[in-house]
Structure 1
Amino acid sequence: MSEQIFSYSQQQLETLTARVLELARLGGATAAESDISEGCGQNVTVRLSEVETIEYNRDKGVSVTLYIGQNKGHASTSDFSDKALQDTVNAALNIARYTAADDCAGLADPALLLKNSDYRDLDLYHPWNLPVETAITLARECEDAARGVDARIVNSEGGTVATHATRHCYGNSHGFIGSQTTSRHSLSASVIAGSGDAMQRDYWYSSARCADDLLSAVSVGRMAGERAVRRLDGRRVKTGQYPVVFEAPVAGSLLSHLVQAVSGGSLYRQSSFLLDSLGKKVCADIITIDEDPFVLRGLASGCSDDEGVATKNRRFVDGGVLQGYFLGSYSARKLGMQSTGHAGGPHNLSVAPTLSGGLDALLQRMGTGLLVTELMGQGINMVTGDYSRGASGFWVENGVIAYPVEELTIAGNLREMLLQIDAVGDDIDRRGSRYMGSVLLSSMMVAGEA
C-alpha cells in the first residue's frame, strides 16, 4: 500500500476536525471533542494451497462528543459532507439536552495535553506495497512450510497475509488537534496434525508496523507446523498442586489481568481484587514492569492518549510494589485523582526478566511440573481474583519436557498467583504491546485425572 491509498491527507482530517468543533460551539456546546479516521487494508488467505479469501476494506468515520455543562451527548457518521457533520453535531446536542448531568464528565485537563514541542516521530507508518499476487505467494509459502513439517499434518486452516493502514485525527475545544498515520502488517498460519483418532491444532504469527520486521513466511509456517505436531498423543496428569510455567505467548495474559485490575473503570466501579493497592505489594519482589510509550515502531506507542493527554515513561511496578494506576480523565475524576494518560489503555509494558537462558532455563528451575502453552475459557472473577481456566501444554520432569498434556484445568487466585511468581525468563514475546518472557509460578492447582 502507498500514500495514495488514503482519500484524505492529515491536513484535511485536521480541517474536518476543526469544522466539527466549530459546529458544536455554534450549536451551544460548552465543550466538545471529535475523532476522525480513515482506514484501509488487504487480507489474503490460502488454504490447502488454494486461494480461499481475498478481502479489501476501506472505512472512515467521524464521531463527536460534546457537553452542555455537565450533560454529555455523542453521535457519529461515516459521511464527511458538511451537511452530515452538521446533522451529527445536532444529534449529539439533542442527546446532551436529555442526559443527566455528571460532575465527572468533560474534556481532559488542558494542562495535561500534549504540547507541539513534545511531539516525537515514533516511526509508526510503513506502507506495504503488496500486490495481491505477491500476497497469495507469501500466504502459500507460509502454509506450505507449515504442512511440510511432518506427514502427520493432515489439514489446514490456512496461511494469511494482512496489511492495514490508518489515518486518525483527534481534537477538542481546548485548542488541541493531533493526527497520526500508522500501519500494521501480519503473517500467520494455522494447521491441524493427526495421529489415529487424535487431532491437534496450533498456529503461529508475526506482526509489526513495518513489513521488514516480520519473520519470513517460511519461519512462521514452520513454527506453526512444529507446534501442532508436538501436541500429538497428549495425556492427562494426576490432579494435584504443581509448579506451573506459562509460556511467553500466554504469560502476557497474567499482565493483562493485572492491568485490568488497576485500571480506572474497574477501580471506580469497585470491581477489582486490587482496590486501594497503590503503593502496596501486588507482585513478587522480583517483578519490575516499565511502560514506554515511545518505542520506535511499537504497536502501542504514542505521544498522547485518546484524549490528547501527553504520555510518559514510567515504572508501573517496582520490586513488586504498584507505582501507578491506568486512568483516563473520567475515571480519574471519579477517584479524585489525575489522568495518567491512559484513555485507550497502556503503552508498551515490559516485564524485566529475572533468569537468563530462555524457556529451557526456566524449565530447569521448575524441575517437575506443568508447562502451559494454551489457555481456554474465561473463568476469571476480577472482583475476587478467582482464576480457573482450561489448559494444555507439556508435562516436565527433571527440567525436560516429557510428553504433551491436555484436558486440564488450572486454578488459583490472581492475587496469590502474582505474588507467587518465582522467575521470569528472557524469551520475551515482542509481537504485541506486552513484552514478557515465560513465567514460573511456584504452585497452582492442576485438575486432571482423579
Structure 2
Amino acid sequence: MSATHRTTSRRAAGDAGRQGFQYSTAQLEELADLALKHARALGVADAAVEVSEGCGLSVSVRRGALENVERNRDKALLITVYAGQRRGHASTSDFSPQAVRQTVRAAWDLARYTAEDPAAGLPEETDVAHDYPDLDLFHPWPIDAEQAAEIALRCEAAAFAVSPRITNSEGAAVSAQQSHFWAEHMRGGERRRQGIFYGGYASSRHSLSVAPIAGKGDGMQRDHWFSSQRNPAELASPEAVGRYAAERALARLKPRKIATTECPVLFEAPLAAGLLGAFVQAVSGGALYRRTSFLLDSLGRQVFPAHVDIFEDPHILGAKGSAPFDDEGVRTVARPVVSGGCVKGYFLSTYSARKLGLRTTGHAGGSHNLLMTSRLTQPQDDLPAMLRKLGRGLFVTELMGQGVNLVTGDYSRGAAGFWVEDGVIAYPVQEITIAGNLAEMFKGIVAIGADVYNLGAKNVGSVLIERMKVAGS
C-alpha cells in the first residue's frame, strides 16, 4: 500500500476529535489490529475486520414549535473469519479489549461448525484496492440543535407563506450525519502488503425536509420536498424547499378520479429513480444466483430500447453514491452498465460472483452514481417538454405500496398525479393503480427528460413509457 493511500485515508478522517467523533482514525486502526491479532492467535489465516463510528443530530419542528431533538452515536466492530471454506461472522458495539476478544472467538466458533461453502473467502488479491483517491466525501456540519431548529422553522414558515390554503403541516426536519471507518484483511496470516486490503475514510450526509398540508377536511392534500447533500453548503435554501413543497401540495387540491384505461405514463424524475433501482435489483448478484429475477441471463441482451444508456461512475467528487472501494475493499471503476439498450454488466460482490462463475464488479454494498440517459434527449427536454411528449395520458408524482415482483417483473402500484391533455396538465388525479410488467415497461421507454434528479446513487430525468394499464373508477 502506497504512502499516498495512507495519507489520503488519515486526512479524510484525521483530527477526529475535532469533527465530533469520539475515536480517531488511529484508534479505529488499533481496534482492527487487536481483533486480527486475536484471530491469528486462534489459528485463523484469513479474516476481515471493520471498525466504524457514526454520530449525528436530527431536529424536527411542527407548526412553528420544536417537536423533537435526537442525537445519535453508534459504533461497531465486525469480524469475519474463515476456516478453510467455512465462514463465521460476529459483531460488537463494545470496544473494550475483553469484548473484542470474545467477539473474535464467537466468529471463530461459528466458522468451525458452519457448513463448507465453496464461494466463501476474501476477494482475490488482484481485485482489492491498493491506492484510492480522496473523493471529498466528508463535510461535517458544525450545527447545534438551536441552529437546526431555526433552519427547519424557516423551511416550514416558507411553506405556510405561499398561500392561506396551506392549512397544516406534518413538520419540517433537519438532519446532520457523519461517520468514519477502518477496514482491514488478513490473508494467510499476513497483513498490509500489496494484494491485502486495508483502508478507510470519513463521510457525511445532511438533509432538510418539509411536508405541508393544503386544504381542509376531506379535501386536504399533502406533499413534501427535501434536499440532501454531503456538503451542507450545497443544500437548497430552507425557503426554496418550503415554497416548492407547498406548491406541490396546492397543485393536488380538488383531485378527480379517472376511468380505467390504457395510456402513456410519465414518471416524475424522483419516481423514475425507482424504476432504475428495480433494474439494479434485478441484475444484482443475489437475485441472479438464487434465480429470483425476471432478468436472468440478461448479460449482452437487449433490455431497453437502443436509445437508452446507463453509466456508473463511483469516483465523482462529493457525490452521494461515490466510493473508492466497496464493502469488501474491492476497487470501484467507472463502466457502462447498459449501452444501446444492452446489458453490459451486473452488480456483483465477491460471493455472488463466485456463485455465478463470474468476477466481482465491486458492488458489495450496492451501486455507485448511476446515470440513466437517452440518446434522443435534447437539452431543452425539461418537464414541460416531457409533458408535451406525453400528449394525453398520466403524469405520476406519487407511488404507494410495494407491488413490484422482481421474480416475474409484474408491477402494480397505487398512484397519484395529474391527467394531461394536449401536453398540458389538466387536473390532479388520485385513487388509481398503474400496472404493467417491468420487462415490457423498460422496452417501452420512449423518452427520458433532461430534468435529471439525484436520488442517492441514482440520477435520471422523468421517464415516459409508451403504454401502461391505469385502473380508476
TM-score by length of structure 1 reads 0.97
Residue 15 of structure 1, CA deviation: 2.3
- Show the counterpart of 2:302: 281
Q: What secondary structure, in the 3-state scheme, does the structure 1 residue paired with 2:119 have?
A: coil
User: For each residue in 1:150-206, what CA deviation from the matched residue of structure 2 results, as whole angstroms up to 9, or x when unmatched?
Assistant: 212221111111100101111111432111000111010011112452121110000
Match of 1:332 among 329, 340, 353: 353
- Show the counterpart of 1:272: 293
Given that residues 17 and 24 in structure 2 are in contact (C-alpha distance below 8 angstroms), is that contact kept between their aligned partners in structure 1? no
- Show the counterpart of 1:211: 232
User: For each residue in 1:57-91, what CA deviation from the matched residue of structure 2 results, as whole angstroms up to 9, or x when unmatched?
Assistant: 11111011111111111111111111111000001
- Show the counterpart of 1:435: 459
- Show the counterpart of 2:325: 304
Match of 1:67 among 82, 90, 93: 82
- Show the counterpart of 1:131: 144
Q: What secondary structure, in the 3-state scheme, does the structure 1 residue paired with 2:329 have?
A: coil
Given that residues 329 and 338 in structure 1 are in contact (C-alpha distance below 8 angstroms), is that contact kept between their aligned partners in structure 2? yes
- Supply the distance in 2 between the matched residues of 1:4 and 1:241 (Cα, whole angstroms): 55
1:416 aligns with 2:446: no
Question: Structure 2: which 5+ runs fail to align?
Answer: 1-15, 188-195
> Which amino acid is the alignment partner of residue 377 of structure 1?
G
Q: CA RMSD in A?
A: 1.2
Residue 11 of structure 1, CA deviation: 2.1
Q: What secondary structure, in the 3-state scheme, does the structure 2 residue paired with 1:133 have?
A: helix
- Supply the distance in 1 between the matched residues of 2:412 and 2:39 (Cα, whole angstroms): 48
Given that residues 208 and 431 in structure 1 are in contact (C-alpha distance below 8 angstroms), is that contact kept between their aligned partners in structure 2? no
- Supply the distance in 2 between the matched residues of 1:25 and 1:402 (Cα, whole angstroms): 69
1:58 aligns with 2:82: no
- Supply the distance in 2 between the matched residues of 1:149 and 1:433 (Cα, whole angstroms): 32
- Supply the distance in 1 between the matched residues of 2:454 and 2:430 (Cα, whole angstroms): 27
Q: What secondary structure, in the 3-state scheme, does the structure 2 residue paired with 1:112 have?
A: coil
- Supply the distance in 1 between the matched residues of 2:265 and 2:228 (Cα, whole angstroms): 28
> Which amino acid is the alignment partner of residue 248 of structure 1?
A
May I ask how many residue pairs the two structures share in their alignment?
Answer: 447
Match of 1:122 among 99, 112, 135: 135
- Supply the distance in 1 between the matched residues of 2:431 and 2:330 (Cα, whole angstroms): 46
- Show the counterpart of 2:173: 160
> Which amino acid is the alignment partner of residue 345 of structure 1?
G
> Which amino acid is the alignment partner of residue 172 of structure 1?
H
User: For each residue in 1:371-401, what CA deviation from the matched residue of structure 2 results, as whole angstroms up to 9, or x when unmatched?
Assistant: 0000000111111101100000000000000
1:107 aligns with 2:113: no
> Which amino acid is the alignment partner of residue 23 of structure 2?
Y
Residue 3 of structure 1, CA deviation: 2.9
- Show the counterpart of 2:316: 295
Given that residues 46 and 139 in structure 1 are in contact (C-alpha distance below 8 angstroms), is that contact kept between their aligned partners in structure 2? yes
User: For each residue in 1:81-111, what CA deviation from the matched residue of structure 2 results, as whole angstroms up to 9, or x when unmatched?
Assistant: 1111100000111111211111111111111
User: For each residue in 1:1-44, what CA deviation from the matched residue of structure 2 results, as whole angstroms up to 9, or x when unmatched?
Assistant: 98341111112212221221221121122311111100000001
- Show the counterpart of 1:97: 112
- Show the counterpart of 1:192: 213
Q: What secondary structure, in the 3-state scheme, does the structure 2 residue paired with 1:111 have?
A: coil
Question: Structure 1: which 5+ runs fail to align?
Answer: none
Match of 2:400 among 370, 376, 379: 376
- Show the counterpart of 2:416: 392
- Show the counterpart of 1:242: 263
Stretch deviating more after TM superposition (146-155 or 397-406): 146-155
User: For each residue in 1:124-163, what CA deviation from the matched residue of structure 2 results, as whole angstroms up to 9, or x when unmatched?
Assistant: 0111111222111101000111122221222111111110
1:11 aligns with 2:26: yes
- Show the counterpart of 1:85: 100
- Supply the distance in 1 between the matched residues of 2:433 and 2:136 (Cα, whole angstroms): 42
Given that residues 2 and 127 in structure 1 are in contact (C-alpha distance below 8 angstroms), is that contact kept between their aligned partners in structure 2? no
- Show the counterpart of 1:24: 39
Q: What secondary structure, in the 3-state scheme, does the structure 2 residue paired with 1:288 have?
A: strand
Stretch deviating more after TM superposition (336-345 or 6-15): 6-15
Given that residues 300 and 347 in structure 1 are in contact (C-alpha distance below 8 angstroms), is that contact kept between their aligned partners in structure 2? yes
Given that residues 298 and 348 in structure 1 are in contact (C-alpha distance below 8 angstroms), is that contact kept between their aligned partners in structure 2? yes
- Supply the distance in 1 between the matched residues of 2:40 and 2:214 (Cα, whole angstroms): 61
- Show the counterpart of 2:7: none
Given that residues 368 and 397 in structure 1 are in contact (C-alpha distance below 8 angstroms), is that contact kept between their aligned partners in structure 2? yes
> Which amino acid is the alignment partner of residue 220 of structure 1?
V
Q: What secondary structure, in the 3-state scheme, does the structure 1 residue paired with 2:454 have?
A: coil
* Counterpart mapping for 1:132-147 below 5 A: 132-147=145-160
Q: What secondary structure, in the 3-state scheme, does the structure 2 residue paired with 1:40 have?
A: strand
Q: What secondary structure, in the 3-state scheme, does the structure 2 residue paired with 1:284 have?
A: coil
- Supply the distance in 1 between the matched residues of 2:181 and 2:17 (Cα, whole angstroms): 16
Given that residues 14 and 178 in structure 1 are in contact (C-alpha distance below 8 angstroms), is that contact kept between their aligned partners in structure 2? no
- Supply the distance in 1 between the matched residues of 2:472 and 2:306 (Cα, whole angstroms): 31
Given that residues 14 and 177 in structure 1 are in contact (C-alpha distance below 8 angstroms), is that contact kept between their aligned partners in structure 2? no
